[in-house]
């Protein structure tokens, strides 16, 4: 049974802490992953890191709402970056705030999937952006640290399309 977890928001000091490696992908981790996906979907997020639900473990989930479905990255490491893209970005821990940031145009990341298999993904555009944003969370870094000065905006909630 999946459950919505409580999100941690801007100002919560846990968001500044570093997450630890997942040593064993056990039942508890599988439940956490399912809950993270459910929580990300509930709030229409493209990505979510475990720290955002109060768990300091290196787990991120990403869903671009395409044919691939949700992607689960455990202990992810960005091993290569290429180029640069300037993108609009937000974060579920900063509701209704958006700003422009510079991200690599392409990244190669290694991670363990939820079946314990070590994987490698080459990502560009939105997926590259999402991986960088979520890996930053695992290091206690937030998009507002990188926002291009003067581009941070508050968007009224009723201007957003809710699912």
Q: Which of residues 93 and 112 has its CB atom nearest to Ni ion in the complex? A: 93
Please count the residues of this chain forming the interface with Ni ion, following the rule CB under 5 A: 1
DSSP annotation of 158 reads G
CA–CA separation, 84 and 101 (whole Å): 10
Q: Which of residues 29 and 60 has its CB atom nearest to Ni ion in the complex? A: 60
CA–CA separation, 92 and 45 (whole Å): 7
Task: Tell me the sheet residues that pair with 73.
Answer: 60
Active site residue 134: yes
Task: Please identify which residue in the block is written with the tokens 């821990």.
Answer: 93
**In the sheet where 153-154 sits, what is the strand order?**
85-91, 94-103, 153-154
Q: Does 91 bind Ni ion (CB under 5 A)?
A: yes
Give min distance, CB of 24 to Ni ion, in A.
Answer: 26
Name the one range near Ni ion by CB under 5 A: 59-67, 83-91, 116-124, 153-161.
83-91
Give min distance, CB of 66 to Ni ion, in A.
Answer: 19
What residue ranges bind Ni ion (CB under 5 A)?
A: 91
Q: Name the residues annotated as catalytic.
A: 134
């Amino acid at each position: 049974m999946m459950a919505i977890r409580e999100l941690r928001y801007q100002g919560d000091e846990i968001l500044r802490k570093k997450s630890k490696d997942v040593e064993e992908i056990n039942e508890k981790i599988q439940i956490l992953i399912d809950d993270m996906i459910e929580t990300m979907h509930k709030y229409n997020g493209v990505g979510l890191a475990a720290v955002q639900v109060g768990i300091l473990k290196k787990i991120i989930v990403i869903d671009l709402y395409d044919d691939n479905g949700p992607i689960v990255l455990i202990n992810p490491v960005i091993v290569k970056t290429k180029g640069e893209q300037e993108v609009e970005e937000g974060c579920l821990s900063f509701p209704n705030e958006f700003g422009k940031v510079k991200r690599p145009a392409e990244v190669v990341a290694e991670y363990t999937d939820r079946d314990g298999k070590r994987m490698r993904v080459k990502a560009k555009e939105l997926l590259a952006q999402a991986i960088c944003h979520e890996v930053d969370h695992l290091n206690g870094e937030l998009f507002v640290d990188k926002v291009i000065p003067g581009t941070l905006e508050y968007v009224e909630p009723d201007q957003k399309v809710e699912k």
